Structure 1
């Protein structure tokens, strides 16, 4: 499915016989929505009262209803697809699980979605309930679910839809390391995305489908690899890395679309802040001859659908008391942006790690390690509500304390910096220790340089043979984000501590107004 621009000579050659039957398709897309049904602030957390009316907020399902209707009206043929991770991220998910996402995705009339890693946060059973509630196919090509009874025979690798008389193949793709990121259970195995996609492309092509779109929740880097190492993929609609692709913004990480060989790759950041709109023209043989577009900002210029606003407010009523409770004050905005926290020390990382350590310090715990993937938003200055705290820490994780020797601690930090190039969530935010690392060293081969642990009011070199008491969250303690060295029953562990969001709220209240900071506890050489 070669990407080519027809020259005037070629065009004349085609029209000398039968007129070329070009097919135009608009691909509308979202990704990493994370239950942000209400508008969000510029910090990706909840929109404070009054700010939305003042035009300071973005996104929300009510704006998507309007924007999608307008985009469909501009196109003769359009589809609406999602790049995964509708689940998790706000109290709406905590309370309703997948039910609310299903209701609004049906209202928006999606045509397909891939499984994101967070769709497995509550196991295959909740994913299956979501699948039974939606009116469109949910796909995942690079996993074997045959041994998982809730998904076997139901979760397909690909599907074919029709639009404007043409068949369009959709293929789903999920992170290969989903076992490290979520809770899919032991019955599902995940495999190589390139091989999985190529197998489905070959099968669809053999069935006469010549327009193929991959819905990928594997991240911008992996999407480029898939495009480079497969044939027959026309478009990849991405997710997972929250990448903002654009042709007009200096904040973009790449162009929209990003072309790799003949494949157009798109992604639209996250949280419903943008609606991706890619316009593709295919020739009669299914070759892409043009692909262009731009993510549309869901800002105040997009009117909110009133019925949707009312329905979300109705669903939010049981949550209002929790969400609106003021728990503390912040003297300044607190940076929890994933682009920062997943590669270096950050303000929100220090706050979370400090809060964890403060809560259990009287138990002899001296070190805290928090995975940056658990930090999901920044905070504005001023009053802090519990709703904002839960936007930062939405996963209902609890504190886990356990014993670890110094050598294993260093190995854990090595794991933490092993995927910085991919901006993965395993990057460690810490308290009670300092470390330096060198990105020029290959992952897993000694990136961690110096590790110093707190000893009274000073820091001393870590002792590989000494046993330390550590606190993390129960997800990381269970081996999540690659921290398998933390798991097991041999560590004198207690995995049933208080909820991390409550710990953070109480720490901020005790230190209100909280002043965010970084102090050099993590150094990149």
Structure 2
């Protein structure tokens, strides 16, 4: 169990805090009798080294935690450090250490509580149990039934109550109900209805007196908003799973922080801080005697390359990074000939076919794979292919993403991918499960001439009205390289599948490189 809220070691930077302008609170602060800040992270995905020029990384995150806590302490606020799940899966740190690196960094970060995300189950109950034994904070999931899994009994809680002076703060964890389809929890675990589980946990917490209820939710923004509108008694939702950046005035934000929803009996404040450790959130709360929020404020901190790295955390990450060189050198498969990335932005290429085939094979029921050629950053050698070679091809940490989309909107997405053909645009679509013909000399928006979908041993024309299940990468699914129909026209979508490099490495191990080559999927007039 975590220590009492205000007895945690305060990391103060008085000079820094004094120079920062504190955001105004929303509401009537004079009525508040408790002052609390929730510092929050979600969907870190083992990105301990960060993401190239985009920033992030555990050492910079440590500086971010310190900065936001200093701001809160300077305003005489208690602090909770919260994680909304999906620490696992997404880099070689997790592949090599199976959660030990994440546990070490989280302990150093003084996390109070974490919801279990779907990717915490990627290694089955055994890996999660080993991780749980290493952490000193509460792991929460109210809708996880572990009664048939001895390894997890006593390690996962529905909720935890922490004290902030005389105030009680009830933290309730929720895990997406689709975890059995999106991860590998095994046959002994059951995921129950999240709303019912939340209502039971809230009732149990308030049976012992007034409390502020904070849901640590790994359900995604849309389910969080629906839950907030339907379940009484929720004060705050700290969310994850959908990788949504809720922030005021920051590039890429999809809504304000907090996003407000009218619940059955109170206003619910929802926050979420993007993904991959590139942002940290601070939600300031002023609490009434009954635990209700009477005012709020805060901000979202971009964890950019301009933030200095915390030296203690940097040393910790470096120690876990030592074995990764050998892992990168591990041979995953062989290919009879080199697969260069030269020319992939202009035409069909063997490397593009390899990656698209790997994506399509990894998602049962998917009919089409589309991936941007700009994401293929290097070629593969002839002969032995190492994991490091694969990471050179796919360095961005993207995951598999799936969506259901009408044929006409899929056609529009392909047309966008062809729009910068003469400029070697990165959006040029490499595909599997389909073939298309285009005219590179035609005006932008009118280049796609024909699209056919594989059916058995042949092809059939794309039906603009029919819905198709498409697999792509998370960058394209969220509109990257102009693929906005994948973002705006998806009938349903899921962005957080397996890391793309793992999928391609597995395909190469199964002989995929030996079968790769141009075969007429893409032709032009």
Question: Deviations 1:266-322 (Å, cap 9, x if unpaired)?
Answer: 000100000111111112221211222222100122110123222322221221255
For 1:504 and 1:236, the matched residues in 2 are separated by 45
Alignment match of 1:5 (pick from 23, 27, 38): 27
Is residue 359–residue 504 contact of structure 2 (8 Å, CA) maintained in 1?
Answer: no
- Correspondence 1:108-123 to 2 at 5 A: 108-123=109-124
Q: Separation in 2 of the partners of 1:353 and 1:188?
A: 33
- How far does the alpha carbon of each residue in 1:349-379 deviate from its partner, in whole angstroms, 9 at most, with x for none? 976224578x9xxxxxxx985789xx99984
Does residue 33 of structure 2 align to residue 22 of structure 1? yes
Which secondary structure state, in structure 2, belongs to the residue aligned with residue 417 of structure 1? strand
| Structure 2 CA distance for partners of 1:151 and 1:208, relative to 1, 3 Å | same
In structure 2, do the counterparts of structure 1 residues 418 and 214 end up closer, same or farther at CA, with 3 Å as the change threshold? farther
Shift of the 389–140 alpha-carbon distance from structure 1 to 2, 3 Å rule, reads farther
**Which blocks of at least 5 consecutive residues in structure 2 are unaligned?**
1-24, 332-337, 346-350, 381-388, 408-429, 437-450, 463-470, 473-491, 494-502
Partner of 2:164: 163
Once the 2 structures are TM-superposed, how far is the Cα of residue 144 of structure 1 from its aligned partner?
1.6
> In the comparison of the two structures, how many residue pairs are matched?
395
Q: Does 1:353 align with 2:356?
A: yes
Residues 88 and 99 of structure 2 are in contact (CA less than 8 Å); yes or no, is this contact kept in structure 1?
A: yes
1:354-373 map, 5 Å = 354=357
Q: Distance in 2 between matches of 1:454 and 1:29?
A: 47
1:20-69 Cα offsets, whole Å, 9 max, x none, are 552111111111101001121xxxxxx2xxxxxxxx34111101111111
Secondary structure of residue in 1 paired with 2:119: helix
Match among 281, 290, 300 for residue 285 of structure 1: 290
Q: How does 1:115-514 map to 2 (within 5 A)?
A: 115-261=116-262, 262-323=267-328, 330=341, 352-354=355-357, 379=375, 381=377, 385-388=389-392, 417=404, 431-433=432-434, 452-453=453-454, 459-460=459-460, 499-500=506-507, 506=513
Shift of 1:507: 8.3
Alpha-carbon distance in 2 for matches of 1:227, 1:376? 37
Which residue number in structure 2 is paired with residue 72 of structure 1?
69
Q: Cα–Cα, structure 1 residues 376 and 80, in superposed 2: closer, same or farther, change >3 Å?
A: farther
Q: Tell me the distance in 2 between the aligned counterparts of 1:81 and 1:116.
A: 13
The 3-state SS of whatever aligns with 1:296 is strand
Q: 1:4 to 1:504 in 2, by over 3 A?
A: farther
Change (3 A) 1:132 1:306: same
* Root mean square deviation of aligned Cα: 4.4
Structure 1 residues without counterparts, runs of 5 or longer: 12-19, 41-46, 48-55, 335-347, 360-366, 398-414, 421-428, 436-449, 463-470, 473-480, 483-495, 512-517, 521-525
Q: Distance in 1 between matches of 2:157 and 2:135?
A: 14
**Alpha-carbon distance in structure 2 between the residues aligned to 1:169 and 1:218:** 18
Distance 1:258 1:329 in 2: 46
Q: 1:199 to 1:207 in 2, by over 3 A?
A: same
Query: TM-score, normalized by length of structure 1?
Result: 0.65
CA distance in 2, matches of 1:271, 1:113: 16
The alpha-carbon deviation at position 252 of structure 1 amounts to 1.6
Q: Does 1:38 align with 2:63?
A: no
1:497 and 1:168, CA in 2 relative to 1: closer, same or farther beyond 3 A? closer
Residues of 2 paired with 1:193 and 1:214: CA distance? 11
Note if contact 1:160-1:167 (Cα within 8 Å) is conserved in structure 2.
yes
Question: Hey, what's the Cα distance between the residues in 1 that align with 2:58 and 2:329?
Answer: 20
Does residue 61 (structure 1) correspond to residue 58 (structure 2)? The answer is yes
Moved more, 23-32 or 106-115: 23-32
